[in-house]
Structure 1
């Protein structure tokens, strides 16, 4: 059966709940439609989160992200909607989504939205270090 866009985010139990650890994902093929022009907007999404009890299943994340390709959405609104949906599904200790939209009208737009679990503060040893962007292939 072919895969289809789907708003359902599936999760699985965090195998190491006793430890804070950083999950980093780069999603280079995000697409939605400009609500003003109807033209496609393209972005690379950078997802960083510290799971609590659940982690996101990758295929469901791919299909969820794919589900926006025919939706009209302003950059700010769609970035925050994705954060809200991920926060609801995962209930992570911490989550940050950086949406780096490709140039439109000579302007690059980057939107950063965060969610922090109530009462969670990172331990001093937690370092949310920077990952350099990856090419689409590794060699």
Structure 2
């Protein structure tokens, strides 16, 4: 008797669920996509739908048309940061130093790195 009641309740639940209207955002895309809006820089866009009506890489063709070209300053700053990151990592892995000495050298390297980046920016904008 319990099995029959369980089957009837399950059947009723399936019938009610299948009678509900589809829960999608509409249009030709189909599927269940919640309508959320994200605010970025004062503009609105939905993270689930392309604003151009088609799906492209990564958000449609116009965004992929002009990649960012790094300047000489960007490359120089990245090289400085990479050099100092390597120095800091080697100090962190050096077990001959005490913890206090390691922290001191890391602080010194970070200070030197920031100074080198600032100097590179000054030289870039001077010329």
The normalised TM-score by structure 2 is 0.22
More helix by share: 2
